[in-house]
Structure 1
Amino acid sequence: MNIDFATLAGLFFGVTIVTVAIMSGSPLNIFLNLPGFMIVMGGTIAATMIKFPITGVFVSLPLGLKAAFSNDKTKASDYIRLTIKLVKKARKSGLPALEKESVPNAFYKKGIQLCADGKDGEFIRKVLVEEIQQEIRREEVGANVFRAIGDSAPAFGMFGTLVGLIQMLSNMTDPSTIGPAMAVAMLTTLYGVLLSQLIAYPISEKLTMKIDRQTALSELILECIVQIQQLQNPTALKDILEPYLPGNQRKIEEER
Protein backbone atom coordinates (compact mmCIF):
# COMPACT_ATOMS: atom_id res chain seq x y z
CA MET A 1 0.00 0.00 0.00
CA ASN A 2 1.10 3.54 -0.77
CA ILE A 3 -0.06 6.94 0.44
CA ASP A 4 -2.91 8.47 -1.54
CA PHE A 5 -1.45 11.93 -2.14
CA ALA A 6 -4.69 13.20 -3.70
CA THR A 7 -6.48 12.83 -0.36
CA LEU A 8 -3.62 14.42 1.56
CA ALA A 9 -3.24 17.27 -0.92
CA GLY A 10 -6.97 17.97 -1.00
CA LEU A 11 -7.26 18.05 2.78
CA PHE A 12 -4.13 20.20 3.18
CA PHE A 13 -5.24 22.59 0.43
CA GLY A 14 -8.74 22.91 1.89
CA VAL A 15 -7.54 23.58 5.44
CA THR A 16 -4.90 26.03 4.20
CA ILE A 17 -7.33 28.02 2.04
CA VAL A 18 -9.91 28.26 4.83
CA THR A 19 -7.27 29.30 7.38
CA VAL A 20 -5.71 31.92 5.10
CA ALA A 21 -9.15 33.31 4.18
CA ILE A 22 -10.06 33.62 7.86
CA MET A 23 -6.78 35.21 8.93
CA SER A 24 -6.80 37.72 6.07
CA GLY A 25 -9.83 39.49 7.54
CA SER A 26 -9.56 38.91 11.27
CA PRO A 27 -7.48 37.15 13.94
CA LEU A 28 -7.84 33.39 14.05
CA ASN A 29 -8.69 33.24 17.75
CA ILE A 30 -12.15 34.76 17.27
CA PHE A 31 -13.09 31.62 15.32
CA LEU A 32 -12.19 29.36 18.25
CA ASN A 33 -14.98 28.37 20.60
CA LEU A 34 -14.58 25.26 22.72
CA PRO A 35 -18.23 24.83 23.83
CA GLY A 36 -19.43 25.15 20.23
CA PHE A 37 -16.81 22.64 19.05
CA MET A 38 -17.86 20.21 21.80
CA ILE A 39 -21.52 20.49 20.79
CA VAL A 40 -20.75 19.68 17.14
CA MET A 41 -18.24 16.87 17.79
CA GLY A 42 -20.05 15.37 20.77
CA GLY A 43 -23.46 15.48 19.14
CA THR A 44 -22.17 14.07 15.85
CA ILE A 45 -20.33 11.20 17.56
CA ALA A 46 -23.36 10.42 19.72
CA ALA A 47 -25.74 10.37 16.74
CA THR A 48 -23.34 8.16 14.77
CA MET A 49 -23.06 5.71 17.68
CA ILE A 50 -26.87 5.51 17.82
CA LYS A 51 -27.07 4.75 14.08
CA PHE A 52 -24.37 2.04 14.01
CA PRO A 53 -23.14 -0.80 16.25
CA ILE A 54 -20.19 0.13 18.44
CA THR A 55 -17.82 -1.84 16.19
CA GLY A 56 -19.20 0.00 13.18
CA VAL A 57 -17.96 3.26 14.65
CA PHE A 58 -14.73 2.48 16.47
CA VAL A 59 -13.50 -0.21 14.08
CA SER A 60 -14.74 1.15 10.76
CA LEU A 61 -13.59 4.74 11.42
CA PRO A 62 -9.84 3.96 11.62
CA LEU A 63 -10.10 1.40 8.83
CA GLY A 64 -11.96 3.91 6.69
CA LEU A 65 -9.36 6.60 7.35
CA LYS A 66 -6.58 4.16 6.49
CA ALA A 67 -8.31 3.21 3.24
CA ALA A 68 -8.93 6.86 2.32
CA PHE A 69 -5.28 7.79 2.79
CA SER A 70 -3.76 4.69 1.16
CA ASN A 71 -3.61 3.57 -2.44
CA ASP A 72 -2.84 0.20 -4.04
CA LYS A 73 -0.45 0.83 -6.92
CA THR A 74 -0.82 -2.69 -8.36
CA LYS A 75 -2.52 -2.53 -11.76
CA ALA A 76 -5.17 -4.95 -12.95
CA SER A 77 -2.94 -5.79 -15.91
CA ASP A 78 -0.26 -7.01 -13.47
CA TYR A 79 -2.62 -9.75 -12.29
CA ILE A 80 -3.20 -10.89 -15.86
CA ARG A 81 0.54 -11.20 -16.42
CA LEU A 82 0.82 -13.10 -13.12
CA THR A 83 -2.02 -15.40 -14.15
CA ILE A 84 -0.35 -16.23 -17.46
CA LYS A 85 2.84 -17.06 -15.57
CA LEU A 86 1.03 -19.30 -13.06
CA VAL A 87 -1.00 -21.10 -15.74
CA LYS A 88 2.19 -21.97 -17.58
CA LYS A 89 3.68 -23.35 -14.37
CA ALA A 90 0.51 -25.29 -13.48
CA ARG A 91 0.29 -26.86 -16.95
CA LYS A 92 3.89 -27.96 -16.58
CA SER A 93 4.08 -29.02 -12.91
CA GLY A 94 0.46 -29.33 -11.78
CA LEU A 95 -1.77 -27.11 -9.64
CA PRO A 96 -0.22 -28.19 -6.29
CA ALA A 97 3.04 -26.60 -7.47
CA LEU A 98 1.41 -23.16 -7.17
CA GLU A 99 1.01 -23.45 -3.40
CA LYS A 100 4.46 -22.02 -2.71
CA GLU A 101 4.10 -19.12 -5.13
CA SER A 102 4.50 -15.64 -3.65
CA VAL A 103 1.34 -13.66 -4.40
CA PRO A 104 0.98 -9.97 -3.34
CA ASN A 105 -2.82 -10.05 -2.94
CA ALA A 106 -4.50 -12.00 -0.10
CA PHE A 107 -7.65 -12.65 -2.15
CA TYR A 108 -5.57 -13.97 -5.07
CA LYS A 109 -3.53 -16.08 -2.63
CA LYS A 110 -6.69 -17.67 -1.24
CA GLY A 111 -7.81 -18.57 -4.75
CA ILE A 112 -4.44 -20.12 -5.55
CA GLN A 113 -4.64 -22.16 -2.35
CA LEU A 114 -8.07 -23.48 -3.35
CA CYS A 115 -6.65 -24.49 -6.74
CA ALA A 116 -3.68 -26.20 -5.11
CA ASP A 117 -6.05 -28.08 -2.78
CA GLY A 118 -7.80 -29.57 -5.81
CA LYS A 119 -11.15 -27.80 -5.47
CA ASP A 120 -13.32 -27.70 -8.58
CA GLY A 121 -14.11 -24.50 -10.48
CA GLU A 122 -17.71 -24.24 -9.29
CA PHE A 123 -16.70 -24.52 -5.63
CA ILE A 124 -13.91 -21.96 -6.08
CA ARG A 125 -16.24 -19.49 -7.77
CA LYS A 126 -18.85 -19.90 -5.02
CA VAL A 127 -16.31 -19.35 -2.22
CA LEU A 128 -14.66 -16.34 -3.85
CA VAL A 129 -17.95 -14.67 -4.81
CA GLU A 130 -19.04 -14.90 -1.17
CA GLU A 131 -15.67 -13.47 -0.14
CA ILE A 132 -16.18 -10.50 -2.48
CA GLN A 133 -19.68 -9.85 -1.14
CA GLN A 134 -18.54 -9.99 2.49
CA GLU A 135 -15.65 -7.62 1.78
CA ILE A 136 -18.00 -5.14 0.10
CA ARG A 137 -20.31 -5.22 3.14
CA ARG A 138 -17.40 -4.58 5.52
CA GLU A 139 -16.01 -1.70 3.49
CA GLU A 140 -19.43 -0.12 2.96
CA VAL A 141 -19.81 0.28 6.72
CA GLY A 142 -16.85 2.68 6.79
CA ALA A 143 -18.26 4.75 3.93
CA ASN A 144 -21.69 4.82 5.59
CA VAL A 145 -20.21 5.94 8.92
CA PHE A 146 -18.50 8.92 7.30
CA ARG A 147 -21.68 9.72 5.37
CA ALA A 148 -23.62 9.68 8.64
CA ILE A 149 -21.08 12.07 10.17
CA GLY A 150 -21.53 14.35 7.18
CA ASP A 151 -25.31 14.25 7.64
CA SER A 152 -25.22 14.96 11.39
CA ALA A 153 -22.51 17.61 11.69
CA PRO A 154 -24.41 20.54 10.07
CA ALA A 155 -27.52 19.72 12.11
CA PHE A 156 -25.60 19.89 15.38
CA GLY A 157 -23.89 23.03 14.13
CA MET A 158 -27.33 24.60 13.76
CA PHE A 159 -28.32 23.21 17.16
CA GLY A 160 -25.32 24.92 18.74
CA THR A 161 -26.24 28.17 17.00
CA LEU A 162 -29.78 27.97 18.40
CA VAL A 163 -28.41 27.34 21.89
CA GLY A 164 -26.17 30.38 21.55
CA LEU A 165 -29.04 32.54 20.30
CA ILE A 166 -31.28 31.47 23.18
CA GLN A 167 -28.55 32.32 25.67
CA MET A 168 -27.98 35.67 23.98
CA LEU A 169 -31.66 36.62 23.83
CA SER A 170 -32.18 35.68 27.46
CA ASN A 171 -29.66 38.32 28.54
CA MET A 172 -29.93 41.50 26.46
CA THR A 173 -29.36 44.05 29.24
CA ASP A 174 -26.16 45.23 27.53
CA PRO A 175 -26.67 45.86 23.77
CA SER A 176 -22.90 46.01 23.21
CA THR A 177 -22.63 42.27 23.88
CA ILE A 178 -25.18 41.25 21.25
CA GLY A 179 -22.74 41.36 18.30
CA PRO A 180 -19.98 39.26 19.91
CA ALA A 181 -22.55 36.81 21.30
CA MET A 182 -24.13 36.41 17.87
CA ALA A 183 -20.70 35.73 16.33
CA VAL A 184 -19.99 33.02 18.89
CA ALA A 185 -23.41 31.46 18.26
CA MET A 186 -22.72 31.26 14.52
CA LEU A 187 -19.40 29.45 15.03
CA THR A 188 -21.05 26.09 15.65
CA THR A 189 -22.71 26.25 12.23
CA LEU A 190 -19.29 26.95 10.73
CA TYR A 191 -17.77 23.96 12.54
CA GLY A 192 -20.57 21.67 11.38
CA VAL A 193 -20.26 22.73 7.75
CA LEU A 194 -16.47 22.33 7.73
CA LEU A 195 -16.61 18.88 9.34
CA SER A 196 -19.29 17.78 6.89
CA GLN A 197 -18.12 19.26 3.59
CA LEU A 198 -14.34 19.26 4.01
CA ILE A 199 -13.81 15.96 5.82
CA ALA A 200 -16.75 13.56 6.22
CA TYR A 201 -18.50 13.69 2.82
CA PRO A 202 -15.27 13.72 0.73
CA ILE A 203 -13.89 10.73 2.64
CA SER A 204 -17.20 8.88 2.24
CA GLU A 205 -17.18 9.49 -1.52
CA LYS A 206 -13.52 8.45 -1.75
CA LEU A 207 -14.27 5.19 0.08
CA THR A 208 -17.26 4.48 -2.17
CA MET A 209 -15.10 4.99 -5.24
CA LYS A 210 -12.42 2.68 -3.85
CA ILE A 211 -15.01 0.02 -3.05
CA ASP A 212 -16.17 0.07 -6.68
CA ARG A 213 -12.59 -0.13 -7.93
CA GLN A 214 -11.68 -2.94 -5.52
CA THR A 215 -14.81 -4.88 -6.46
CA ALA A 216 -13.89 -4.69 -10.15
CA LEU A 217 -10.36 -5.87 -9.33
CA SER A 218 -11.69 -8.76 -7.22
CA GLU A 219 -13.95 -9.86 -10.07
CA LEU A 220 -10.92 -9.91 -12.38
CA ILE A 221 -8.94 -11.94 -9.84
CA LEU A 222 -11.86 -14.36 -9.48
CA GLU A 223 -11.85 -14.98 -13.23
CA CYS A 224 -8.05 -15.34 -13.16
CA ILE A 225 -8.31 -18.05 -10.50
CA VAL A 226 -11.03 -19.92 -12.41
CA GLN A 227 -8.88 -19.88 -15.56
CA ILE A 228 -5.90 -21.20 -13.59
CA GLN A 229 -8.02 -24.03 -12.17
CA GLN A 230 -9.12 -24.93 -15.70
CA LEU A 231 -5.48 -24.84 -16.91
CA GLN A 232 -6.56 -22.49 -19.66
CA ASN A 233 -4.35 -22.06 -22.72
CA PRO A 234 -2.01 -19.11 -21.91
CA THR A 235 -2.47 -17.63 -25.38
CA ALA A 236 -6.24 -17.42 -24.85
CA LEU A 237 -6.01 -15.81 -21.42
CA LYS A 238 -5.45 -12.29 -22.69
CA ASP A 239 -8.62 -12.37 -24.80
CA ILE A 240 -10.63 -13.85 -21.90
CA LEU A 241 -9.40 -11.44 -19.22
CA GLU A 242 -8.84 -8.24 -21.20
CA PRO A 243 -12.51 -7.08 -20.96
CA TYR A 244 -11.98 -6.69 -17.19
CA LEU A 245 -9.23 -4.10 -17.74
CA PRO A 246 -9.71 -0.31 -17.76
CA GLY A 247 -9.33 1.19 -21.23
CA ASN A 248 -5.92 2.74 -20.57
CA GLN A 249 -4.47 -0.57 -19.36
CA ARG A 250 -5.82 -2.41 -22.40
CA LYS A 251 -3.81 -0.06 -24.58
CA ILE A 252 -0.74 -0.77 -22.52
CA GLU A 253 -1.29 -4.49 -22.97
CA GLU A 254 -1.55 -4.10 -26.74
CA GLU A 255 1.70 -2.13 -26.86
CA ARG A 256 3.65 -4.82 -25.02
Structure 2
Amino acid sequence: MAHKEIPRISGTLRAKSIQIPEVIWSAKGMVVLGRRIKSCLFSTDIAVIRNCNADSVLAVYPFTPQQIISQTIINASSIPVFCGVGGGMTNGFRSALISKDAEAQGAFGVVVNAPMVNENIKLIKKLIDIPVIATVINEDTDIQKRLDSGVSILNVSAAAKTAELVRHIRKEFPTVPIIATGGPSDDSIRETIDAGANTISYTPPTTAEIFSDIMASYRKEQDVVDNPEDKDAALENMLELI
Protein backbone atom coordinates (compact mmCIF):
# COMPACT_ATOMS: atom_id res chain seq x y z
CA MET A 1 0.00 0.00 0.00
CA ALA A 2 1.36 3.40 -1.01
CA HIS A 3 2.28 5.82 1.75
CA LYS A 4 -0.38 8.49 2.16
CA GLU A 5 0.85 12.03 2.68
CA ILE A 6 -0.97 13.76 5.54
CA PRO A 7 -1.78 17.43 4.90
CA ARG A 8 -0.36 19.68 7.64
CA ILE A 9 -1.80 23.14 8.17
CA SER A 10 -0.36 25.58 10.68
CA GLY A 11 -0.23 29.30 11.38
CA THR A 12 2.84 31.48 11.52
CA LEU A 13 2.41 32.23 15.23
CA ARG A 14 1.84 28.56 16.11
CA ALA A 15 4.66 27.11 14.05
CA LYS A 16 6.85 26.70 17.15
CA SER A 17 4.40 24.54 19.11
CA ILE A 18 5.69 21.37 20.77
CA GLN A 19 5.32 18.32 18.55
CA ILE A 20 5.31 14.90 20.17
CA PRO A 21 7.57 12.27 18.53
CA GLU A 22 5.79 10.95 15.43
CA VAL A 23 6.54 7.35 16.38
CA ILE A 24 3.85 7.71 19.08
CA TRP A 25 1.16 7.84 16.39
CA SER A 26 1.86 4.17 15.65
CA ALA A 27 0.37 3.25 19.05
CA LYS A 28 -3.06 1.65 19.04
CA GLY A 29 -4.42 4.15 21.53
CA MET A 30 -7.48 3.85 23.75
CA VAL A 31 -10.91 5.47 23.62
CA VAL A 32 -11.73 7.38 26.81
CA LEU A 33 -15.19 8.92 27.07
CA GLY A 34 -15.45 8.89 23.29
CA ARG A 35 -11.99 10.37 22.59
CA ARG A 36 -9.23 8.27 21.04
CA ILE A 37 -5.99 8.92 22.91
CA LYS A 38 -2.57 7.81 21.74
CA SER A 39 -0.45 10.39 23.54
CA CYS A 40 -0.42 12.06 26.96
CA LEU A 41 1.59 15.20 27.59
CA PHE A 42 3.14 14.92 31.06
CA SER A 43 2.96 18.54 32.18
CA THR A 44 1.21 21.07 34.36
CA ASP A 45 2.65 24.05 32.46
CA ILE A 46 -0.36 25.83 30.92
CA ALA A 47 1.74 27.53 28.24
CA VAL A 48 3.13 24.16 27.15
CA ILE A 49 -0.29 22.51 27.30
CA ARG A 50 -1.76 25.22 25.07
CA ASN A 51 1.05 24.83 22.54
CA CYS A 52 1.32 21.11 21.82
CA ASN A 53 -0.22 18.50 19.55
CA ALA A 54 -0.74 15.76 22.15
CA ASP A 55 -4.10 14.01 22.52
CA SER A 56 -4.35 14.56 26.28
CA VAL A 57 -2.64 15.87 29.40
CA LEU A 58 -1.34 13.86 32.35
CA ALA A 59 -1.49 16.53 35.07
CA VAL A 60 0.34 14.91 37.96
CA TYR A 61 2.70 16.90 40.18
CA PRO A 62 4.79 16.30 43.34
CA PHE A 63 2.68 18.41 45.70
CA THR A 64 -0.60 18.02 47.54
CA PRO A 65 -3.34 18.10 44.87
CA GLN A 66 -5.34 21.31 44.92
CA GLN A 67 -8.65 21.96 43.19
CA ILE A 68 -7.52 25.39 41.97
CA ILE A 69 -4.64 23.76 40.09
CA SER A 70 -6.76 21.12 38.37
CA GLN A 71 -9.47 23.67 37.57
CA THR A 72 -6.95 26.06 36.01
CA ILE A 73 -5.36 23.34 33.87
CA ILE A 74 -8.71 21.96 32.70
CA ASN A 75 -10.05 25.43 31.87
CA ALA A 76 -6.92 26.32 29.90
CA SER A 77 -6.57 23.00 28.07
CA SER A 78 -8.15 22.29 24.70
CA ILE A 79 -7.57 18.54 25.14
CA PRO A 80 -8.69 15.99 27.77
CA VAL A 81 -6.97 16.19 31.15
CA PHE A 82 -6.21 13.35 33.57
CA CYS A 83 -5.73 14.86 37.03
CA GLY A 84 -3.57 13.59 39.85
CA VAL A 85 -5.54 13.20 43.10
CA GLY A 86 -2.90 11.86 45.48
CA GLY A 87 -1.75 8.52 46.76
CA GLY A 88 1.32 9.37 48.81
CA MET A 89 0.91 12.12 51.39
CA THR A 90 -2.63 12.85 50.17
CA ASN A 91 -5.13 10.03 50.43
CA GLY A 92 -8.28 8.88 52.20
CA PHE A 93 -11.43 10.97 52.08
CA ARG A 94 -9.47 14.01 50.88
CA SER A 95 -8.44 12.22 47.68
CA ALA A 96 -12.02 11.14 47.14
CA LEU A 97 -13.28 14.72 47.46
CA ILE A 98 -10.57 16.00 45.11
CA SER A 99 -11.60 13.30 42.62
CA LYS A 100 -15.23 14.35 42.82
CA ASP A 101 -14.26 17.97 42.24
CA ALA A 102 -12.02 17.02 39.30
CA GLU A 103 -14.94 15.25 37.64
CA ALA A 104 -17.17 18.30 38.15
CA GLN A 105 -14.45 20.51 36.66
CA GLY A 106 -14.36 18.41 33.49
CA ALA A 107 -11.48 15.98 34.00
CA PHE A 108 -11.49 12.87 31.79
CA GLY A 109 -9.99 10.75 34.55
CA VAL A 110 -8.18 10.83 37.89
CA VAL A 111 -4.70 9.46 38.53
CA VAL A 112 -3.78 7.79 41.83
CA ASN A 113 -0.15 7.36 42.75
CA ALA A 114 1.44 3.99 43.48
CA PRO A 115 1.20 4.10 47.33
CA MET A 116 -2.60 4.54 47.36
CA VAL A 117 -4.35 1.60 49.03
CA ASN A 118 -7.13 -0.32 47.27
CA GLU A 119 -9.73 0.68 49.88
CA ASN A 120 -9.15 4.32 48.99
CA ILE A 121 -9.55 3.54 45.28
CA LYS A 122 -12.88 1.84 46.03
CA LEU A 123 -14.05 4.98 47.84
CA ILE A 124 -13.05 7.17 44.91
CA LYS A 125 -14.80 4.88 42.44
CA LYS A 126 -18.03 5.10 44.42
CA LEU A 127 -18.03 8.88 44.02
CA ILE A 128 -17.07 9.35 40.38
CA ASP A 129 -18.06 8.08 36.95
CA ILE A 130 -14.84 8.97 35.12
CA PRO A 131 -11.95 6.46 34.90
CA VAL A 132 -9.55 5.85 37.77
CA ILE A 133 -5.97 5.52 36.51
CA ALA A 134 -3.48 3.75 38.79
CA THR A 135 0.27 4.32 38.52
CA VAL A 136 2.34 1.13 38.48
CA ILE A 137 6.07 1.37 39.19
CA ASN A 138 7.20 -2.25 39.57
CA GLU A 139 6.14 -5.90 39.35
CA ASP A 140 5.15 -6.01 43.02
CA THR A 141 1.81 -4.33 42.31
CA ASP A 142 -1.15 -6.69 42.49
CA ILE A 143 -2.81 -5.68 39.22
CA GLN A 144 -5.89 -7.84 39.72
CA LYS A 145 -6.67 -6.23 43.07
CA ARG A 146 -6.25 -2.79 41.51
CA LEU A 147 -8.74 -3.69 38.79
CA ASP A 148 -11.13 -5.23 41.30
CA SER A 149 -10.98 -1.99 43.31
CA GLY A 150 -12.22 0.03 40.36
CA VAL A 151 -9.13 0.96 38.36
CA SER A 152 -9.88 1.25 34.63
CA ILE A 153 -6.46 2.21 33.24
CA LEU A 154 -2.87 1.48 34.29
CA ASN A 155 -0.18 4.15 34.11
CA VAL A 156 3.14 2.31 33.92
CA SER A 157 6.17 4.35 34.96
CA ALA A 158 9.22 2.22 35.72
CA ALA A 159 12.02 4.33 34.18
CA ALA A 160 14.32 2.17 32.04
CA LYS A 161 12.30 -0.95 32.93
CA THR A 162 8.97 0.43 31.67
CA ALA A 163 8.80 -1.65 28.48
CA GLU A 164 9.74 -4.78 30.44
CA LEU A 165 7.00 -4.09 33.02
CA VAL A 166 4.40 -3.42 30.30
CA ARG A 167 5.31 -6.74 28.67
CA HIS A 168 4.99 -8.50 32.03
CA ILE A 169 1.51 -7.03 32.63
CA ARG A 170 0.36 -7.83 29.10
CA LYS A 171 1.03 -11.54 29.55
CA GLU A 172 -1.62 -11.79 32.27
CA PHE A 173 -3.88 -8.90 31.27
CA PRO A 174 -4.03 -8.78 27.46
CA THR A 175 -6.89 -6.26 27.27
CA VAL A 176 -6.30 -3.82 30.14
CA PRO A 177 -5.70 -0.26 28.86
CA ILE A 178 -2.11 0.86 29.50
CA ILE A 179 -0.52 4.29 29.43
CA ALA A 180 3.28 4.09 29.69
CA THR A 181 6.27 6.39 29.66
CA GLY A 182 8.06 6.17 26.34
CA GLY A 183 11.56 7.13 27.35
CA PRO A 184 14.08 9.44 25.67
CA SER A 185 14.22 8.13 22.10
CA ASP A 186 12.15 6.85 19.19
CA ASP A 187 13.60 3.40 19.81
CA SER A 188 12.53 3.32 23.46
CA ILE A 189 9.06 4.61 22.55
CA ARG A 190 8.71 1.95 19.85
CA GLU A 191 9.85 -0.75 22.29
CA THR A 192 7.21 0.35 24.81
CA ILE A 193 4.49 0.29 22.14
CA ASP A 194 5.62 -3.15 20.93
CA ALA A 195 5.53 -4.36 24.54
CA GLY A 196 1.80 -3.59 24.64
CA ALA A 197 1.27 0.03 25.68
CA ASN A 198 -1.87 1.56 24.21
CA THR A 199 -0.87 5.15 24.92
CA ILE A 200 2.49 6.86 25.46
CA SER A 201 3.13 9.64 27.98
CA TYR A 202 5.63 12.21 26.75
CA THR A 203 7.61 14.64 28.87
CA PRO A 204 8.13 17.86 26.87
CA PRO A 205 11.13 20.18 27.16
CA THR A 206 10.84 22.74 29.94
CA THR A 207 10.06 26.38 29.21
CA ALA A 208 13.62 27.17 30.31
CA GLU A 209 15.00 24.85 27.63
CA ILE A 210 12.67 26.31 25.00
CA PHE A 211 13.64 29.85 26.00
CA SER A 212 17.31 28.92 25.73
CA ASP A 213 16.86 27.84 22.10
CA ILE A 214 14.80 30.93 21.26
CA MET A 215 17.30 33.31 22.86
CA ALA A 216 20.12 31.65 20.94
CA SER A 217 18.31 32.36 17.67
CA TYR A 218 17.60 35.95 18.79
CA ARG A 219 21.29 36.49 19.48
CA LYS A 220 22.16 35.28 16.00
CA GLU A 221 19.63 37.72 14.56
CA GLN A 222 21.21 40.50 16.60
CA ASP A 223 24.63 39.56 15.26
CA VAL A 224 23.34 40.29 11.75
CA VAL A 225 22.49 43.84 12.84
CA ASP A 226 25.64 44.43 14.89
CA ASN A 227 28.05 42.88 12.36
CA PRO A 228 26.80 43.48 8.81
CA GLU A 229 29.96 41.97 7.37
CA ASP A 230 28.95 38.63 8.93
CA LYS A 231 25.42 38.83 7.52
CA ASP A 232 25.70 35.93 5.07
CA ALA A 233 27.19 33.55 7.61
CA ALA A 234 24.62 34.50 10.24
CA LEU A 235 21.76 34.00 7.83
CA GLU A 236 23.04 30.54 6.96
CA ASN A 237 23.12 29.65 10.64
CA MET A 238 19.57 30.91 11.12
CA LEU A 239 18.32 28.89 8.17
CA GLU A 240 19.74 25.76 9.78
CA LEU A 241 17.49 26.41 12.80
CA ILE A 242 14.33 26.56 10.69
With normalisation by structure 2, the TM-score equals: 0.29
Whose Rg is larger?
1
- Structure ranking higher on relative contact order (CA contacts 8 Å, 6+ apart): 1
